[in-house]
Amino acid sequence: MIKIKEIAIFTASFFLGGFIFAQQPSDNPPAAEAEPEEEVIKASTIDEHLDEKAYNEGVNLLSANNFKEAIIKFDEAIKLNPDYEKAYINRASAKKELKNLDGAIEDFSKAIEINPNSSNAFFGRAQVYYLQNRKDDAFNDYGSAVKVDSTNAYASYYHGGLNFEKGEYRKAIEDYDRAIRFKPDYVYAYNDRGSSYRQLDEYSKAAADYEKACMYDSSKVFFFNNLGSAYRKAGEFDKSLAAYNKSLELDNKNYFTYNLRGLTYYEMMEFEKAIEDFTSCLEINAQYGFAYMNRGDAYYKLFDYQNALVNGNRAVELMPNNGNAYLNRGNFREMTRDKAGACADWKKAVEMGIEAAKPYIRQCK
Amino acid sequence: MKNNILRIVFLCMLSVFSVSTIISAQTTADRLNSAIGPKSLKKAKNPAWILTETQKGYAGKGTPISKQSFDGSKSYKQFNDYYKSGLYYYEQGMRVQAIPYLMQAQEMLPNNLLLNVLLGKTLCISTSTRLQSEPYLVKALQIDSQNKDAMMYLGRVLLSKYLVDSAINTFTHCLTLPAMDTNDTEYVTKWLKAAQYTKARLKKPERVFIDNLGTVVNTTSGDYASVLSSDELTMYFTSIRPGSTGGKIDPSSGYFFEDVYKATRSTNEDTNWIVRNLSVVNTDGHDGTSGLSMDGNRIFIHRGIKREGLIYTSKSDDTTWDKPALGNEGKLVMTKKNHDKTISYTFDERTVYFVSDREGGYGGYDIWYCKKDSNNNWTEPKNIGPVINTAGNDMCASIMPDGKSMYFASDGHPTMGGLDIFFTMQDSAGNWSKPTNVGWPVNTVENEMFFTRTLSGKAAYFSSERLGGSRHIDKTADNYGGYDIYKVTYLGEEKGVITQSEDQLIAYITEPVGETVVEAAATIEVTPITLLKGFVYDDQTKVPLGAPISMVDNDLGVEIAVFESNLKTGRFTIALPAGHNYGITVKKEGYLFHSENFDIPLADAEYMEVYKEFPLKNVTVGSKVVLRNVFFEVDKYVLLPASFIELDRLVKLMTDAPSLQIEVSGHTDVTGSLAHNKTLSLNRAHAVVNYLVEHGISLDRITYAGYGPEQPVCPDDDPDCLKTMTPDKIKTLNSTTEQRALNRRTEFKIVGNDAKLEIEVAKPGN
């Protein structure tokens, strides 16, 4: 019997749609398995392998983004072989693309039932749980995927991501360490581990990881932005500016970058240059409230309270639910001799949970 | 060097002794015909203003001063009259009188170097006319580009215009001119340093608001030397505005003699002042405010004629002021031959700081002080020392209620120009800290003086010659001419602002993660001050009484103030730092002393007022006095040391009135058993008796009893009694707790006074 080699494209389908990948990474789960043309071995006796034939047809349809037809073929394969684990996995993938997330989970679960050591099935189900915002379930499934196959760098990476989201930065770093151990060029893992260090205020380690990410992939603006921010936090302003400058070389219309570089100038107390950058940011995105907020702060530092207030007003308009904007504007109003307005803003900020405004209210009595 | 000192003395004379507003040249020109003619004056020349040989040479530069420069002899004669009159007044140092003549002469001979230099310098010296000097100085430099006189005064003009870099360059260039002598170099170096200091201070303004007190308080003439009552509702200040008592002009300055004015308002946020001349204290000569007592009942007035000064004191009964008299301070602290100007008492009035140029100082005006000795006599004046006093002028000392923080004006420490305000603090060893310049925009390139900070610390008042308002030079605040009075509002430490940004921290999430950077929250400095307002009166007749009052800080165990309630109104006001326990005792001849003990709690509010009444009882049999400042440990009967001040007063009362017989009684609240409480109260009364006997009071005159809870002053079952017992703001406990605290007491009752002697009450400070 000549067995048709199964086409395992299920993981490839994860990035066909639905996930919120920032960049389509070479680092996503194994691309090699997403090449069905190379994988097909023709059957000598087709009738003996009807389930596999249907499965392969399903894989080809799936690769062609013909999800509905692919599901029909996977249905056929499963009907012929009810324990066909990979057919369940790929059908789950097709269902996920069609937003039938419950159906996808059902199929991934069936695959796990058939093979409790299927790291891919756990991984796939975790991704769907994540889409459903069932982060605890996703977290557990990523954990299971790692447990049954510790070399699954992707599972470790995403497990780390959820630890990061939970604020468990030290545990996230352990996950990223493992991901990098089994995939040493895993640039996203470097970036995200750097971010974990950053959240732990370990800026030199953060910068080292961001540097690695930039070295492996020098095309990513956000790697350089993160690097610039880590250096700013570390007080290494020249390196911070250099990183942001590199980022702007890659994309000079990135308003985030201007805002970030402006903050480095702000920290350097070069408030005029900071204002220039915040202004550049706003020229690209006039609705970016943070840049108004920060520009107002820079004017405040330059004792130009009227301009600070103009920016503070705009920040509040654009971000009416941002308590920080009210605190800042309160300060600006105080300096423009609008004590009543300042007190109203500080009070609003406190109502919105801004602790820093509490002592200021004492002056309002 | 000598000339430079004289130049400073002259500036002081202009800006300190009479602090006269220099009226505008135009106004002065209008006075030309009525000015006192040179022939009527027989004054010695002012050494600071005598033309040097170099300056005399300026007469021949440009269009020379000579008959040949004029078309006809008639116009030359007229020119010569103006020129010689101007030069005469100039050399007398009578700047204001010189200006119109020099202007007329310059108008007739506009390209003469000497006239432009003289006019430029004469106008430049005063803040009010400084900007008018610029065209003359520029013209002088057009005639002689290396003219040192024109250049150094032009530098001064540039600094007044806040063209700081230009001023620095000009002063720096001045120093390279070969014609500069030692005095010139000293003058220019001083102003170069001021310009450099100004440049640095402008980069970091202090967090204050500066407000001109408005055109009712301030006029186009000079208004300065403000002193405020504790509640900031009444202000006294000096002005040389038209309408001065006597209507005379001081010939040495050309301006009206100083008068004291009173300004009042309804709240301390109110900007609508009502101003009137405090005519009862004013004379035809100079009458200026020098200080105000803490209770606001005594104003100290500087009177000076022909550069002699004395401090007079006037007392108030809240509605009127007495004729000023030379009080102890005037006689002991001041001397007639010196020019004593300002006076500032510590909180307890046991130390007085004043300003003098007497012998033994470090140069110019210095700050001196006297202390009261154990006999309440002022000690010999002592110089406050070289940390504060410099070779320049150090003056306008204002001591804060804490008795250790002081503001003063100086031109000897690094300043932005002229006199600046400085702060210093005395440590526990009595050493003063190195003075710190209070910075821009309180200080400017012009003169600032007479700085007093309010009790709450949230504001201050001072006088400044800044070129503000319509002159569009100094944007900090308006100025209506000469010295004006300003209010400083302190904003405290800079309030932190928050920056926000976003980074894409996690690669698989497109939503960036926001980052918020919160600057450290500013510390809101609060020095809580409570203003205690009291009313002393006869308990039977309700007639107000003036009486000596002693205030003891029980936490520190020291008497912190001795003062008197107003003779006519019985009222007094005193500022007390919050967070302490105080004992207050009111004594009055023919009355039993009245003592109270109370806490002033630390509160959120930076300022609050407490009102308290002090009914004094006649020395009649049956009168009772509660000894509120006698303390025991809980459930014990050993006197605590904090009780001794109060008991010593009782000893003194018994000594002064030897026929007085008293019963000392102890009282408890209702908690605990009756038997225990009666024993405890008896033992406590006995402890007081023992103290009296140990201090010489015969046991025959004293009986004692322990009543336990049987004679409450505020029974638990009478919830309304508190309303009549305590001012509502002093206590913060719940009513039952407060009532029981009142009932726990030691008191004495007069049980015999056959001789009916008048009791001699100790004088304040004894």
Task: Kindly state whether A191 is in contact with chain B, defined as any CB-CB distance less than 8 angstroms.
Answer: yes
**Whole-number pLDDT of residue B43:** 56
Higher pLDDT, B55 or A323: A323
What is the pLDDT at residue B722?
A: 66
Enumerate residues 108 to 147 of chain A having a beta carbon within 8 A of any beta carbon in chain B: none
**Of residues A55 and B723, more confidently modeled:** A55
Give mean pLDDT, residues B290-303: 85
Q: Residue A225: list chain B partners with CB under 8 A.
A: 503-504
Please check whether residue B512 lies inside any domain of the structure.
Answer: no
* Closest partner CB to A191 (pick from B507, B517, B604): B507
**B634 with B558, same domain?**
yes
| Cross-chain Cβ contact A363/B492 below 8 Å | yes
Q: Do B503 and A161 touch (CB under 8 A)?
A: no
Q: Is B323 exposed, middle or buried (0-12, 13-18, 19+ CB in 10 A)?
A: exposed
Domains plus CATH for chain A? 1-115 (1.25.40.10), 253-365 (1.25.40.10)
- For residue B458, list chain A residues with Cβ-Cβ distance below 8 A: none
Q: Would you tell me how many other CB atoms lie within 10 Å of the CB of residue A336?
A: 15
Q: B316: pLDDT confidence band, cut at 50, 70 and 90?
A: confident
Range name among A141-145, A357-361, B258-262 with the lowest pLDDT average:
A357-361
Of the pLDDT bands very low, low, confident and very high (cuts 50, 70, 90), residue B320 is: confident
ipTM, interface predicted TM-score of the complex:
0.81
Interface probe for B, chosen from A28, A192, A196, A254 (most Cβ of B below 10 Å), is A192
Q: Would B209 be classed as within a structural domain? A: no
| Residue-level pLDDT at B37 | 46
Q: Which residues of B touch A358 (CB under 8 A)?
A: 521
pLDDT at A14 over 70: no
For residue B178, the domain's CATH number is 1.25.40.10
Residue B130 belongs to a domain:
yes
Beta partners for B239?
Answer: B223, B259
> In chain A, which among 237-266 make CB contacts under 8 A with chain B?
256, 259-260, 263, 266
Q: What is the pLDDT of residue A321?
A: 96
Q: Is B280 on the interface with A (CB under 8 A)?
A: no
Of the residues B173, B202, B231, the one at which a domain ends: B202
Percent of chain B with pLDDT over 70: 82
Which range scores top for mean pLDDT: A33-42, A234-243, B53-62, B663-672? A234-243
pLDDT of residue A103 exceeding 70, the answer is yes
pLDDT at A279 over 90: yes
* B516 located within any domain: no
Q: Tens digits of per-residue pLDDT, B411-450?
A: 999 999 999 999 999 988 889 999 999 999 999 999 999 9
Tell me what the pLDDT averaged over chain B comes to: 81
Interface contact flag, B503 A297, Cβ < 8 Å: no
Predicted confidence at residue B468, as pLDDT, reads: 74
Choose the closest CB to A21 out of B503, B508, B515: B508
| Mean pLDDT in residue range A295-316 | 96
Residues B185 and B254 in one domain: no
Residues B475, B607: one domain? Answer: no
| Residue of B179, B182, B174, B98 whose CA lies nearest to B133 | B98
The answer to whether residue B758 is domain-embedded is no
Q: Look up tokens 């015909």; give the residue.
A: B33
B363 and B410, same structural domain? yes
Confidence of residue B9 (pLDDT cuts 50, 70, 90): very low
- Asked if residue A45 has pLDDT above 50, the reply is no
Interchain CB distance below 8 Å, A192 and B604? no
Whether B346 and B469 share a structural domain: yes
Number of structural domains in chain B:
3
The continuous run of DSSP H or E covering B370 comes out as: strand B366-371
Alpha carbon distance B394, A104 (integer Å): 87
Share of residues in chain A with pLDDT > 90 (%): 80
Chain B residue with the nearest C-alpha to that of A274: B499
DSSP state of B377: P
Percent of chain A with pLDDT over 70: 87
B632 in any annotated domain: yes
Q: Å from B620 to nearest chain A CA? A: 48
Rounded Cα distance between B91 and B3, Å, is: 13
**pLDDT of B11 above 50:** no
Cα torsion angle, A332, A337, A338, A343, sign: positive
- Are B639 and B709 members of one domain? yes
The per-residue DSSP string of B423-460 comes to EEEB-TTSPBPPPEE--TTTS-SS-EEEEEE-TTSSEE
Contact between B522 and A266 using a beta-carbon 8 Å cutoff? no
Torsion sign across C-alpha atoms B22, B27, B29, B30: negative
Do B126 and B219 lie in one domain? The reply is no
8 A C-beta contact, residue B505 and residue A256:
no
B158 or B652, higher pLDDT: B158
Q: How confident is the model at residue B660 (pLDDT cuts 50, 70, 90)?
A: confident
B219 shares a domain with B173: no
Pick the range with the lowest mean pLDDT from A331-335, B182-186, B557-561.
B557-561
Q: What is the pLDDT of residues A340-353, one digit of tens each?
A: 999 999 999 999 99
Inform me whether the C-beta atom of residue B541 falls under 8 Å from chain A C-beta atoms.
no
**Which of B164-173, B281-290, B298-307 is the least confident region?**
B298-307
Q: Which of B202, B236, B271 delimits the end of a domain?
A: B202
Residue B284 and residue B257 in one domain: yes
For B209, the closest of A198, A303, A337 (CB atoms) is A337
Distance CA B691, CA B654 (A): 12
Q: What are the b/e assignments for B525-537, b being 16+ CB within 10 Å?
A: ebebbbbbbbbbb
> Residue B510's pLDDT band (boundaries 50, 70, 90)?
low
pTM, two decimal places: 0.70
Any bridge partners for residue B468, and if so which? B474
Is the pLDDT at B278 greater than 60, yes or no? yes
Whether chain B has a CB inside 8 Å of the CB on A335: the answer is yes
The pLDDT, as a whole number, for residue B214 is 92
The answer to whether the CB atoms of B523 and A260 lie below 8 A apart is: no
> DSSP 3-state assignment of A324?
helix
Question: Do B77 and B111 fall within a single domain?
Answer: yes
**What's the CA gap between B392 and B366, in Å, rounded?**
8
CA distance B293 to A57: 103
Query: Is B495 part of the contact surface with chain A (CB cutoff 8 Å)?
Result: yes
* pLDDT given at position A192: 95
Final residue belonging to a domain, choices B175, B202, B229: B202
Distance CA A261, CA B730 (A): 56
pLDDT tens, position by position, B361-380: 998 899 999 888 878 788 88
Number of residues that this document lists for chain B: 766
pLDDT recorded at residue B348: 72
Please report the DSSP string for B487-527 in residue order. EEEE--SPPP-EEEEEE--STT--SPEEEEEEPPPPP----
Any B CB within 8 A of A163 CB: no
- Contact state of A293 with B500 under an 8 Å Cβ cutoff: yes
Residue B567 has pLDDT above 80, yes or no: no
- Residue-level pLDDT at B30: 38
Alpha carbon of B207: minimum distance to chain A alpha carbons (Å): 9
Q: How many residues does chain A have?
A: 365
Contacts of A340 (CB under 8 A, 6+ apart): none
pLDDT (tens digit, 9 = 90+) per residue, B342-365?
788 887 778 889 888 888 899 889
**pLDDT tens-place string over residues B77-91:** 899 999 999 999 998
Is A20 a residue whose pLDDT tops 90? no
CB contact, 8 Å: B736 with chain A? no
Give the residue numbers spanning the domain of B30.
2-202
B263 vs B671, higher pLDDT: B263
Predicted pLDDT of residue B606? 56
Q: Based on the fold, state whether residues B234 and B348 are members of the same structural domain.
A: yes
B514 assigned to some structural domain: no
With bands split at pLDDT 50, 70 and 90, how would you rate the model's confidence at B469?
low
Look at A22 and B507 and tell me if their CB atoms are within 8 Å.
Answer: yes
B392: CATH:
2.120.10.30
Would you say residue B727 has pLDDT above 60? no
Q: Which residues of A touch B504 (CB under 8 A)?
A: 22, 222, 225-226, 256
Residues B371 and B458 in one domain: yes
Q: Would you say residue B521 lies in a domain?
A: no
Which residues on chain B are in Cβ contact (under 8 Å) with A222?
503-504, 507
Q: How many whole angstroms separate alpha carbon B205 and alpha carbon B219? A: 27
